[in-house]
A and B are shown apart, each in its own frame.
Chain A
């Protein structure tokens, strides 16, 4: 865990509105686990004020060049332009100075290799699953990836996943790529076929909520990666908490999603609270 004052190696649009950014980060790869994230400082000047959290897509080395210089280590993120910060990021170029803090948080528990591994990713939620899939494949596990999105433009890196040796299944809400419908329909079918599977999911909250329901009905172990708003990313501000299972008014349980998460075993979360986010202005004080 370190603050890197570093620079961009490349920043390219990979699908409309989605960018892939490679950042120089010596020593980063040894410490990074699948599902961890970085806090990225978009630019030296303000605003935007706070750093933005992004999942780690992968780490690696640029090949050594002819000058005999050592290979250059990088970390790669993939982001969707949704607002001010990501809008500025899309304008950055090779050589631009940036800062990143990481690797942060607790990633996926990928120690066991029993049974089938079913990965479920919606849109940008596919990103942290790439490193997880690579690790499972390296350990000799069988990996199936259910990729979901609104349209074909939200389905990223099919070829890259397949090159790893992952079996992919695509579904889109509008049927523009793969099967028409939700990724959760595919999950239900796969679980009938592979009852001893373990599921790993990342994506928008309604998707995660549905995946949780399906998995708990089938008594399938599930790990989910959450996206809470964050300020510090290191467990200091307590802005990013989620309710833990068994949370009550009298006996509250708040888990820091930047420190305990962002990946949680689903049985440790209070899903009733997660499902219906957002506020009813009960106590305007």
Chain B
């Protein structure tokens, strides 16, 4: 009798909705750390995670930066991959056939080097019915405007989001850069320009020097810092953005354990993305999902929404 009772304990409902897309749980990979999904298929069941987020896509294939492109730092890593990707055509031809076989929403992360580029990629995504949503990476320099990063200027950010919003007939997630003085200003600007959801944060710009050669450890000199080292900064920024906007927020930055994901949910993120942790443990997302579920059971929580935004101040 007791045995029976145990197995019929209600499993908490972990499903959430972001910009109209239903996710079986709030955990998905962060762009650029999970390839196009297929790379990790041998290590985890892709139908157990909330969504698949692709490597950043551009109109034309992009070669990326010279090497070395990565360097480990204390509890983090610097990367300057330079957004190397196969381009949207090759993505459709070579990567989509696999993704179509997986019963999990696919979110296409994309970027451009000019305003027009961004608009064009957005249009192209409309032709791929299996793409559930677009995730717009605005942490890129505008090559036509002296290299100013779209996402660091509220006006440029708003412009690019408005254009993409017009061209994209799918839910639009806008991913913010943390390399700004006040992230809430950009968050409000992109919400106003039509973002259906906001993802943050992208990597923090950093630098590391080899003292023996006195050269930067990355060929690109600077790179993006990710991993546990950035988590407290990310939690703070997600907290601020949640307060500033009314669209759902996806929390990203240094999530390795279930506890880390819970921090983001409690400050108000509706979902989370896991990046660098995939390199450390290819099945990290599964442990995180199981850990969130176990936490809910332990705390008597039936629905994840009881947790989301439950921060006590």
* Interface residue A81 (Cβ < 8 Å from any Cβ of B): no
Q: What sequence of 0s and 1s flags, for each residue 33-67 of chain B, a beta carbon within 8 Å of any chain A beta carbon?
A: 11100011011000000000001000000011011
B278 touches A241 (CB 8 A): no
Q: Which residues of A contact B276 (CB under 8 A)?
A: 49, 231
B216 touches A231 (CB 8 A): no
Min distance, Cβ A59 to any Cβ of chain B, angstroms: 19
* Interface residue B10 (Cβ < 8 Å from any Cβ of A): no
A283 to B141, CA, bound (A): 13
Q: Which residues of B contact A239 (CB under 8 A)?
A: 69-70, 79, 81
* Interface residue B72 (Cβ < 8 Å from any Cβ of A): yes
Within 8 A of A (CB), among B210-267: 213, 215-216, 218-222, 227-228, 256
B283 touches A3 (CB 8 A): yes
A283 to B43, CA, bound (A): 37
* Interface residue B280 (Cβ < 8 Å from any Cβ of A): yes
B215 touches A231 (CB 8 A): no
Q: Which residues of B contact A236 (CB under 8 A)?
A: 33-35, 39-40, 55, 278-279
Q: Which residues of A contact B281 (CB under 8 A)?
A: 3, 41, 99
Q: Which residues of A contact B81 (CB under 8 A)?
A: 237-239
Q: What sequence of 0s and 1s flags, for each residue 140-172 of chain B, a beta carbon within 8 Å of any chain A beta carbon?
A: 010000010000000000000000000000000
* Interface residue A254 (Cβ < 8 Å from any Cβ of B): yes
When the two chains form the complex, which single residue of B34, B68, B75, B141 contacts A279, counting CB atoms closer than 8 Å?
B68
Given the contacts A228-B67, A239-B69, A284-B222, A278 and B279 also touching, CB distance less than 8 Å? no
B69 closest partner in A (C-beta): A239
Q: Which residues of A contact B75 (CB under 8 A)?
A: 46-47, 49
Q: Which residues of A contact B69 (CB under 8 A)?
A: 229, 238-241
Given the contacts A232-B278, A278-B215, A284-B221, A49 and B79 also touching, CB distance less than 8 Å? no
A50 touches B280 (CB 8 A): yes
* Interface residue A48 (Cβ < 8 Å from any Cβ of B): yes
A229 touches B68 (CB 8 A): yes
- Between A and B, 22 residue pairs with Cβ closer than 8 Å are A3-B43, A48-B72, A49-B76, A49-B227, A51-B280, A229-B69, A231-B77, A234-B43, A236-B33, A236-B35, A236-B279, A238-B69, A252-B63, A254-B63, A254-B64, A278-B213, A279-B216, A279-B218, A281-B215, A281-B216, A283-B221, A284-B216
> 5 extra interchain contacts, Cβ-Cβ under 8 A, other than A101-B282, A241-B84?
A2-B42, A41-B280, A232-B278, A236-B278, A279-B221
Minimum-distance CB pairs A-B, first 10:
A252-B63, A236-B35, A239-B70, A279-B219, A284-B221, A236-B39, A281-B221, A232-B279, A231-B279, A239-B69
